[in-house]
Every structure is written in structure tokens, then in C-alpha cells.
């Protein structure tokens, strides 16, 4: 089994980390700078920062806040939300982001993926895909889950790979915040239809949920609520997965990096 990464996610609105259910009923979870530092020291493999109100507010990402988080983060750091141009991506990469995540803007202008990848390399471009179940399978949604696109997931997966996506961050809106586990049908589908690394997001509520995700074959397991509100530590998750035979980066490896 390949090594799996454990990735906390900071959903940021109005300068604070928040968490809700299916992108609604948001509650405060803390200060993003302090939380970024905490997860970096706790042994997270990566950190994702998503400015979730940027697109719906018609503005670009909070570069200054992302920079402050980056200063305290010693692990790979992805920033998204409101990344709608090469210029914004460049600003984030200059202030400390290792990767940028594009979502709504990429659906509107798919060539943005290639534009960023051509300058900085595919490895710097994460395409975030938010999906809902529909009568025809899975539909891509944008603007923080508020806008259906009519775009079927398989068609979008094919397009983003062609444009140069280096990684996919796939979130099940149906499972988000439900604490009922990853959507196994969704990630099995994505893994069967893509050749790029996949991060699973949405639904983790137990240690077994992490194990199920790892056994599906995704490369990254993203979670928020269980980490932000103290259900589990990064160490507990890694210890549980390792005991089940999953390959994880251990603490001694972290110190050698």
C-alpha cells in the first residue's frame, strides 16, 4: 500500500477558521495562524487553507493572512479560495504557499489550470472539485457549493487532467461535516477515472473512516472537524493507520525532513 498523507483543512471566513455541515451552519473553530502552527508541530503531512468566502464575495484570496499562516507552517502548504488568475497564484506562491488550489474559476476558465501549471509546474496546481449526488451520478458545484453547474463529474475529471492538474481535492458536499465517513462510491469512481493523486474530503468521524479512505487508494486524507474540535490528534490517526498496515509518515521521519 502506498504512503497516505494526513491533511488538516482550515476553512477560513472573515479571518477565522470555521466548520459547518454541507458548507452551511458555520461555527467558529479558531485562529488560522495558531492552528496552522499547531498542526505543523503535531505531525500533519500537509496543510490546506481555503478562503471559503472569497469567491462568493467576489474577491481574491486573503494573501496577507495566508502569508502569516505560511510563516508558522513547516509542512507543505496549499492555499485556495478566490484563486482566479495567474497573478493571484503567483502572489500566494511568493508568500509561502507550496501549491495553489483552483475551483470555481477553473470551471469558468479551464485554461487557468494550464496557465499556472506552465509557469510553476503541474505539482503546484491542485484542482478542488466540490460535488453533489444527482439523478445522473455526481454534479460539480461551485461558489462554496451554492451554484450547480450541470457539469458531470467524469467530464470534468477528463478536462482537468488534460489541462495539467497535479492533484485533485475532491469534496463530497453530501458527506461534508456529517461525520459519517467518506463517500466510497465517489472516490472509487474518481480513482478509476484519474491518473493524478487524489485527496479525499468530507465526512470523517471515526478512526475507521480514515482507514476506509486509505484502503480505497487515495493519496491524501483530509479532515477538519475531528481535528479542530479535539476528537482525534494527528498522532492518534497515524498510530491507528499504522497498526492496520497503512504506510504513514512517522514522527522520526518528520524530524529528519
Domain range for 249: 5-256
- Structural contact between residues 42 and 237, judged by C-beta atoms closer than 8 angstroms: no
CA distances (Å), origin 193, targets 32, 160, 202, 210, 222? 34, 12, 20, 22, 20
Q: What is the pLDDT of residue 25?
A: 47
Q: What is the mean pLDDT of residues 21-25?
A: 48
Q: What is the pLDDT of residue 178?
A: 67
Q: What is the pLDDT of residue 146?
A: 77
Q: Which grid coordinates are listed for 119? A: 509557469
Lowest mean pLDDT across 139-148, 181-190, 200-209: 139-148
Residue with C-alpha cell 503567483? 90
In this prediction, residue 243 has a pLDDT band, given cuts at 50, 70 and 90, of very high
Q: What is the mean pLDDT of residues 93-116?
A: 96
- 64 vs 154 pLDDT, higher one: 154
The answer, yes or no, to whether residue 256 has pLDDT greater than 50, is: no
Q: Is 11 a catalytic residue?
A: yes
Mean pLDDT of the chain: 88
- Structural contact between residues 169 and 125, judged by C-beta atoms closer than 8 angstroms: no
User: Widest CA span of the chain, in angstroms?
Assistant: 49
The answer, yes or no, to whether residue 155 has pLDDT greater than 90, is: yes
Q: What is the pLDDT of residue 202?
A: 87
Q: What is the pLDDT of residues 117-127, one digit of tens each?
A: 999 999 999 99
Residue with C-alpha cell 458527506? 175
In this prediction, residue 99 has a pLDDT band, given cuts at 50, 70 and 90, of very high
- 16 vs 5 pLDDT, higher one: 5
Which of 51, 130, 183, 209 is the catalytic position?
130
Count the domains in the chain.
1
Q: Is 28 a catalytic residue?
A: no
β-pairing verdict for 147-152 and 137-142: antiparallel
pTM of the model: 0.89
Q: What is the pLDDT of residue 169?
A: 97
In sequence order, what are the beta bridge partners of 102?
127
Q: What is the mean pLDDT of residues 214-243?
A: 94
Q: What is the mean pLDDT of residues 200-217?
A: 94
CATH of residue 16 = 3.20.20.70
Q: What is the pLDDT of residue 257?
A: 45
Amino acid at each position: 500500500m502506498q504512503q497516505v498523507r494526513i491533511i488538516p483543512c482550515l476553512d477560513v471566513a472573515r479571518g477565522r477558521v470555521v466548520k459547518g455541515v454541507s458548507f452551511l451552519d458555520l461555527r467558529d473553530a479558531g485562529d488560522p495562524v495558531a492552528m496552522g502552527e499547531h498542526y505543523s508541530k503535531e505531525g500533519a503531512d500537509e496543510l490546506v487553507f481555503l478562503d471559503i468566502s472569497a469567491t462568493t464575495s467576489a474577491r481574491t484570496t486573503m494573501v496577507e493572512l495566508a502569508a502569516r499562516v505560511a510563516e508558522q507552517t513547516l509542512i507543505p502548504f496549499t492555499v485556495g479560495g478566490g484563486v482566479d488568475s495567474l497573478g493571484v497564484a503567483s502572489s500566494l506562491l511568493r508568500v509561502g504557499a507550496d501549491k495553489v488550489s483552483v475551483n470555481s474559476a477553473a470551471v469558468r476558465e479551464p485554461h487557468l489550470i494550464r496557465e499556472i501549471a506552465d509557469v510553476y509546474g503541474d505539482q503546484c496546481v491542485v484542482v478542488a472539485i466540490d460535488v453533489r449526488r444527482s439523478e445522473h451520478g455526481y454534479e460539480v458545484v461551485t461558489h462554496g457549493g451554492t451554484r450547480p453547474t450541470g457539469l458531470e463529474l467524469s467530464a470534468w475529471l477528463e478536462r482537468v487532467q488534460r489541462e495539467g492538474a497535479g492533484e485533485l481535492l475532491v469534496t463530497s458536499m453530501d458527506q461534508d461535516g456529517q461525520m459519517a465517513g467518506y463517500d466510497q462510491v465517489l472516490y472509487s469512481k474518481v480513482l478509476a477515472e484519474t491518473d493524478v493523486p487524489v485527496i479525499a474530503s468530507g465526512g470523517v468521524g471515526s478512526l475507521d473512516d480514515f482507514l476506509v479512505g486509505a484502503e480505497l487508494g487515495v493519496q491524501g486524507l483530509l479532515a477538519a472537524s475531528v481535528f479542530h474540535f479535539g476528537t482525534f490528534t494527528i498522532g492518534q490517526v497515524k498510530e491507528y493507520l499504522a497498526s492496520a498496515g497503512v504506510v504513514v509518515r512517522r514522527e522520526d521521519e518528520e524530524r529528519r525532513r
